[in-house]
């Protein structure tokens, strides 16, 4: 996976922070609040001990691990801090007021991590060994994206491709919604143009989900590897991407809803495609 980020700060140290105006407090606040800061630094924030354990277990680079007072008596948090420090991270010990202000939460998690972003270049995505990659056309909602990444992980998809102007996968709401799956699912970002060229050369089936699709998703066949494309929440699948699909499938609906939520539709289609590979 490619990595990006600013040059590392003094590594492997422990620092106590007691002032709200400490530059590191401001930096972490900026990473939480603004995409611009995340893009410029190549860093992002994930809240919680579980995510810290997931991230380090999956080999992601942790820059800072912020520990609130409760972490002192928590053996799992202490172990995470020792691992992070051994890998060169800076451990920041803060009080609850600073943790609250940093995360803008009344009841903050006792551990907050700052990690280096990781994405995979489109050129390195191969069909070899894959059953299904998911492509999201201009996904805008952080909760939808996080839920899709989590579902991709659960269903065993090979990864998620973000096509065009998508919401930031490293926004704190997205990361939270992935419940740690962000650290296990390869992510690609690309333009629509690059994606169309990629889809043209895809050796398997390119499937689109579309409200005007004529094929019931349960009746379609899915020769592997599958490239499953999902449309934007407001506008659906763009016409050029729809035209690149071999099949446009539809999920039947009975009630008055215009459409299904994007993440729900992704889950339904994905589980159908992965059906032969999944068992209890």
Contact residue for ligand SAM among 237, 241, 245, 273 (CB under 6 A): 237
Helices and strands (H and E) in the chain: how many: 10, 14
Cβ atoms within 10 Å, residue 160: 29
Using the rule CB under 6 A, is 127 a contact of ligand SAM? no
d(CA 64, CA 50): 15
The DSSP letter of residue 238 is -
Quote the tokens at residue 46. 């994930």
Using the rule CB under 6 A, is 98 a contact of ligand SAM? no
Contact residue for ligand SAM among 44, 250, 270, 273 (CB under 6 A): 250
Using the rule CB under 6 A, is 260 a contact of ligand SAM? yes
Among residue numbers 191 through 220, which ones bind ligand SAM (CB under 6 A)? 209-211, 213
Query: Residues 132, 161: contact at Cβ < 8 Å?
Result: no
Among residue numbers 25 through 84, which ones bind ligand SAM (CB under 6 A)? none
Pairing label, strands 43-47, 111-116: antiparallel
Using the rule CB under 6 A, is 230 a contact of ligand SAM? yes
CB of 218 to ligand SAM, least distance (A): 12
CB of 132 to ligand SAM, least distance (A): 15
User: Burial, 261: exposed, middle or buried (Cβ in 10 Å; 0-12, 13-18, 19+)?
Assistant: middle
Binding site for ligand SAM (CB under 6 A): 209-211, 213, 230-231, 233-234, 236-237, 250-251, 253, 259-260, 262, 265
């Amino acid at each position: 996976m490619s990595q990006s980020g600013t040059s590392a700060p003094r590594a492997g140290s422990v620092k106590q922070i007691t002032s709200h105006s400490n530059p590191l407090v401001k930096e972490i606040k900026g990473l939480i609040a603004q995409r611009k800061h995340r893009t410029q630094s190549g860093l992002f924030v994930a809240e919680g001990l579980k995510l810290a354990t997931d991230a380090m277990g999956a080999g992601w680079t942790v820059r800072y691990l912020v520990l609130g007072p409760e972490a002192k008596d928590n053996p799992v948090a202490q172990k995470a801090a020792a691992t992070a420090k051994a890998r060169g991270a800076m451990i920041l010990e803060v009080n609850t007021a600073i943790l609250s202000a940093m995360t803008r939460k009344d009841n903050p998690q006792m551990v907050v991590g700052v990690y280096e972003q990781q994405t995979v270049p489109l050129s390195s995505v191969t069909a070899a060994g894959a059953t299904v990659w998911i492509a999201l056309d201009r996904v805008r909602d952080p909760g939808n994206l996080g839920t899709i990444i989590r579902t991709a992980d659960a269903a065993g998809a090979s990864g998620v491709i973000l096509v065009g102007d998508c919401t930031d996968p490293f926004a704190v709401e997205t990361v939270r919604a992935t419940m740690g799956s962000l650290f296990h699912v390869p992510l690609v970002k690309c333009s629509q143009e690059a994606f169309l060229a990629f889809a043209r050369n895809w050796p398997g089936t390119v499937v689109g989900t579309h409200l005007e699709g004529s094929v019931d998703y349960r009746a379609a066949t899915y020769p592997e590897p599958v490239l499953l494309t999902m449309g934007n929440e407001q506008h659906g699948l763009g016409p050029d991407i729809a035209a690149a699909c071999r099949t446009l499938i539809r999920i039947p609906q009975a009630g008055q809803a215009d459409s299904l939520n994007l993440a729900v539709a992704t889950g339904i289609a994905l589980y159908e495609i992965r059906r032969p590979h999944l068992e209890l």
